[in-house]
Amino acid sequence: MSATVPASGTGIAWGPALLFCPADRPDRFAKAAERADAVILDLEDAVAPERKARARAALRAERLDPTRTIVRVNAVGSPEFEADLEAVVGTDYRTVMLAKTESPAQVARLGGFEVVALCETARGVVAAPEIAAVPAVRALMWGAEDLLASLGGTSSRAGDGGYRDVARAARSAVLLAAGAHGKAAIDAVHLDIADLDGLAAEAADATASGFSATACIHPGQVGTIRAAYRPGPGQVAWAREVLAAASDQPGVFRHKDQMVDEPVLRQARTVLARFGEQD
């Protein structure tokens, strides 16, 4: 089956905190939508096999704002993919996250939808540039645990809690592929719900590196992600000063012992845009 649906043209209202919600728990849908910037209704890993049909029924019965909702479907070739796709076609949702995306051909199975390609296997990460080039792909996300499983590994993190080198390499590869094609990049979930300090550090690194959002698995993580993505007073003051100085000094110039050229000015504009200002 290849779905063809009317193009909404609205996409989702991107924000930094994207919250996964099991699709078989409609009692949580409204709370997730209230707490997060966008909700990812999950038909894949968060739902036990015997509850997949119930999850699809809940997806059709309960309505959230389609501009702020993504539906994660099972991987192409899995026993659940066709039924998931049929269920989504019967809703107003038009943004689909494809689990274990590994090729442009798999994305093509979602004709008519805007796609968040979840590159979470070795094949998917290696193919990320080709996947990002597909016009229907709005964003790329990476996933650490499925990636390590696809490699035969046992843990994405080392003893100090940080990602292993292979996970960091995959994270960078997906970010670069997204950026090269003008697509958004979404950082992976932080599984240790109680480790808000670790989440804050990873989210701060994500926004500084160029990610547009970080996915999360618990409402209690939303505030930490939002805070990390929002520029601090010092960053905002620096951006305003640099851009103000640039208006009087064409070309490269020195500002408080920092060399300022166009790449630095672009970074300053990004800071103000994330703060809600335009220079």
Residue 196, domain member (yes or no): yes
Give me the pLDDT at residue 278, please.
58
State the pLDDT at residue 27. 97
| pLDDT over 90 (residue 139) | yes
What is the rounded distance in angstroms from the CA atom of residue 279 to the CA atom of residue 276?
10
Q: 245-273: per-residue pLDDT in tens? A: 888 787 888 888 888 888 888 888 888 88
Query: What was the pLDDT predicted at 255?
Result: 84
The answer to whether position 4 is within a domain reads no
State whether residue 234 is helix, strand or coil.
helix
**What average pLDDT does the chain have?**
91
The 3-class secondary structure across 78-91, one letter per residue, is CCCHHHHHHHHHCC
The answer on 244 and 222 residing in a single domain is no
Could you tell me the residue range of the domain that residue 252 belongs to? Answer: 233-275
Residues 63 and 146 in one domain: yes
Instruction: Say whether 248 counts as a known binding-site residue.
Output: no
pLDDT digits (tens, 9 = 90+) for 3-15: 443 333 333 457 8
Residues 131 and 264 in one domain: no
CA distance linking residue 153 with residue 170, whole number of Å: 14
Specify the higher pLDDT residue, 156 or 233.
Answer: 156
How confident is the model at residue 257, as a pLDDT? 83
Q: Residue 120 annotated as binding?
A: yes
Q: Residue 22 forms beta bridges with which residues? A: 42
Domain identity same for 144 and 107: yes
% the chain with pLDDT above 90: 77
Q: How many CB atoms lie within 10 A of CB 167?
A: 23
72 among the known binding-site residues? yes
Partnered with residue 20 across adjacent β-strands are 40
- 241 in the same domain as 223: no
For residues 199-208, give the mean pLDDT.
Answer: 96
Which of 103, 158, 139, 119 is closest to 211 using CA atoms? 139
> Are 225 and 246 contained in the same domain?
no
For the chain, give me the number of helices (H) and strands (E)? 12, 10
CB contact at 8 A, 218 and 193: yes
Q: Is the residue at 10 inside a domain?
A: no
> How far is it, in rounded angstroms, from Cα 190 to Cα 196?
9
Split at pLDDT 50, 70, 90, the class of 279 is low
pLDDT score for 133: 98
Interval 168-196 mean pLDDT: 97
